[in-house]
Structure 1
């Protein structure tokens, strides 16, 4: 830390505040691209400005930008050249600067977070240029700053590439699953007698003789269609929500015990075992009709409506809650993961929910809405093949997500070490 010293940011970087361009010149078709705060994260804009402007307000790829309202987003602009709109700050490194702009990009991240935490606001928080230019930056020599920035940029590049892979695989998965649930897998004959065996059926346009028209649209002739209620297992309370009212009061919750699930445990295709509410064994026995079972399909019905996942096989004892529908399906008819995928993504499910909400926002899912939902039901052997493809794609995405999380933790640790001088760059591997 002996080489580190204090710098006043405004003496080494020049701020340019965005210009209040007149909205009368805004267009989606003609003019020069215009950056608004909402465009900072995506790195692209669909708004343009037609009119005269000063070239000093042009933002180029790689320029450092700060959103001055809301969450104070800090980005390097990734898009095409565009105009700097009001309430966005651009920083330019001075010619004789002793502060590297690349280093500042990483130094500003925790600084802006701290300012945001300390800024009082009734609605939207506001950042002033004064806060930025008067920031006192403790930093090493310019050369060491560049080395620190290079290390962190390398991690950022890996994060960006990994996220791109996740996005790519997710898109492939969604497209593949949509095809599998409309065309299915051709299992007729054998690999020797049918060259298409184990592959997607030809589309209805190419082979209409393989399909039938149903309420769900065109589906393979081998498929059926059933209401969700008719696919439930023959077990007590195969579809359940609750407990309600006085059956479970707040004071009866305990710090440790048997988990009471809520919407914070149910995400799209992901079950979270970060339990926050518990009941005693005695209370669980009393409310056992609301117990979840391994491989149940659970969907949120209040709050963030419609998130769905499958309960893991090692769940142990746990209770559902009034904010969820827990459903046990007949394994001889359907595979839980495939029902779950449809509830999360299938257009026929979204259309049904939209119809039942009368075109508005669905605030809750009624039992009748779920029970009367019509689902395509391929033969079980075909479902098993579809599930295998689904699981392979799902696991590939989860592998990349785990790596992305690891990179995020690595970056956080490096920033804590390198930006404070705890670890000197010349000692880093």
Structure 2
């Protein structure tokens, strides 16, 4: 026994902790519309629903049910507790049956903690995998006492439950925010602070426009009506090799959710052409070249702490004083405007298409007045605050679990005092 382990603990190879049974090599001739589902890696990772079934009989070792541990060892390394009901396991997946002296729930956490180390050892140019024999080379520490194993698993399960619950809430909040955004950009908020009812319920509140029904107080027309100047392209000098005190944005700073300072470059020293593309906090930017799916992404620039310019593949939009840049970015990110942008983008290759200032100015938008824009932004801000709060909470829970796992799965922190208290 290692001197680094506490009394009553042992270090064991992963292969000794259970039996790893590979799934069945199903082929097209086995597929049917009826029978138990065939579970592949896509179903394990949740990227795809069940597509094929097998109605026949196979040895029980290939059958899985709720609670079984599944180890994806080829293509994607992953460990899950299967919760999809009775099914057949496909090849490239192990069903893991714990050894008699190993708690099933603890083994799940041990294997998941081991995956990160396994990924460093994966091999294969197009299909990375871990051989069954290599599991002998990976080890884990665990207590001999079954009660202590169960107590550790219980603590980690509790943290997992809290994480999954918060993740589900985040997904729900995102869906609610997306639905709210659609309602706000098509129905708006009236002077009483209420979202207007749909046109079908209150036809007198709406009028027909180029974009369909819009509130009577709104205007619809080309975007140029709400811009004080033509969109202006940026400038892309050669990146400096060292810090100069001035930076430039990379195209990656415009994302699907707005501006993110995640791709900053060193601007050259004393380049006079940079003066005309230096940014101010609150400037509205749009990408003018990218793939068809990404062209026309928008974001409101937030000061990065140093003088910063924008590149040639972006353009700066200047809203009128009656138009909020923050509000306009939501309009330009809406599905209706994204479809317009993608439809008008030009290029011979889908890997790089472009939009011009003229295309941008001619985009058809529907706009409320500045006061209603502010009310809509307040409503969106409240939704974002709730979402940000839960996102921070789940991040904190993940950090907590990482620390707790490191303590509990090494024996650095013991749960035996808990067991003693329970016995007493």
TM class by shorter-chain length?
A: 0.7 to 0.9
Name 1:298's counterpart in structure 2. 285
CA distance in 1, matches of 2:316, 2:265: 17
Aligned pairs for 1:313-332 (under 5 A) are: 317-332=307-322
Which of 336, 349, 362 pairs up with 2:337?
349
Which of 165, 169, 179 pairs up with 1:165?
169
CA distance in 2, matches of 1:413, 1:373: 51
Q: Deviations over 1:408-427 (max 9, x none)?
A: 22222222322233333347
Name 2:422's counterpart in structure 1. none
Aligned pairs for 1:50-199 (under 5 A) are: 50-54=54-58, 55-94=60-99, 96-97=100-101, 99-132=102-135, 135-141=138-144, 142-187=146-191, 197-199=192-194
Asked if residue 277 in structure 1 is aligned to residue 265 in structure 2, the reply is yes
CA distance in 2, matches of 1:53, 1:318: 66
Structure 2 residue runs without a partner (length 5+): 419-424
Query: What is the Cα deviation at residue 262 of structure 1?
Result: 1.8
CA distance in 1, matches of 2:233, 2:245: 20
Query: What is the Cα deviation at residue 199 of structure 1?
Result: 1.8
Residues 106 and 149, structure 1, Cα contact 8 Å, conserved in 2: yes
* 2:213 alignment partner, SS class: strand
CA distance in 2, matches of 1:116, 1:324: 38
Residues 346 and 354, structure 2, Cα contact 8 Å, conserved in 1: no
* 2:294 alignment partner, SS class: coil
Give the number of equivalent residue pairs: 407
Structure 1 residue runs without a partner (length 5+): 188-196
Q: Deviations over 1:197-237 (max 9, x none)?
A: 43222222222232222221211122112323332244xxx
Name 1:239's counterpart in structure 2. 231
Residues 33 and 45, structure 1, Cα contact 8 Å, conserved in 2: no
Asked if residue 374 in structure 1 is aligned to residue 377 in structure 2, the reply is no
Residues 1:178 and 1:127: Cα distance change in structure 2 (over 3 Å): same
CA distance in 2, matches of 1:126, 1:313: 45
Residues 44 and 78, structure 1, Cα contact 8 Å, conserved in 2: no
Query: What is the Cα deviation at residue 132 of structure 1?
Result: 3.0
Query: What is the Cα deviation at residue 42 of structure 1?
Result: 2.3
* 2:45 alignment partner, SS class: coil
CA distance in 1, matches of 2:250, 2:57: 53
* 2:308 alignment partner, SS class: coil
CA distance in 2, matches of 1:370, 1:426: 66
Residues 1:392 and 1:302: Cα distance change in structure 2 (over 3 Å): same
Name 1:258's counterpart in structure 2. 246
Asked if residue 417 in structure 1 is aligned to residue 420 in structure 2, the reply is no
CA distance in 1, matches of 2:68, 2:111: 14
Q: Which runs of 4 or more aligned residues in structure 1 lie more than 4 Å from their structure 2 counterparts after TM superposition?
A: 313-316, 357-362
Residues 16 and 90, structure 1, Cα contact 8 Å, conserved in 2: yes
Residues 1:424 and 1:361: Cα distance change in structure 2 (over 3 Å): farther
